[in-house]
Amino acid sequence: MIHKQKINGKDVYLKKSRFGWKVVYPIKLDGKINYKHLIAGRSWWNILFIALFLMLLLGSIWEYTNALGVANECLAREYNQTNIGFGNLIFNDSFIKIIPSTDNKHR
């Protein structure tokens, strides 16, 4: 059973446990849901830390997927540049020209 006490003009809710009395933060007060206690627990600092943790987690996931995309793009570009084959070279008098491959045997 939760007991309501007034301490320094504030409502404090106490619950008796086997180790003594402890302060509790009920979710429902006077028939209405107290969203501050439901989301944050004791204070708004808790929700601030939860939001900060989630932002760091989501930022890390986004950065990791972005880095994987860049690495895949670099590897694909490197693979396409090294596997053009000798059939695509045209030898002229002054330079060598590389023609893009139309067949897909190297890709």
What pLDDT shows up at residue 80? 64
Least confident span in 7-21, 50-64, 91-105: 91-105
What pLDDT shows up at residue 52? 94
DSSP state of 101: P
Residues 15 and 61 in one domain: no
31-79 pLDDT per residue, tens? 788 777 777 776 778 788 889 999 999 999 999 999 988 888 887 776 6
Residues 23 and 59 in one domain: no
Residues 80 and 103 in one domain: yes
Reported pTM: 0.45
Q: How would residue 29 be classed by pLDDT, with cut points 50, 70 and 90?
A: confident
Q: Is 61 left (phi over 0), alpha (psi -120 to 50) or beta?
A: alpha
Q: Could you list the residue range(s) of the whole structural domain that residue 96 is in? A: 43-107
Q: Mean pLDDT score of the chain, rounded to an integer?
A: 76
Residues 8 and 34 in one domain: yes
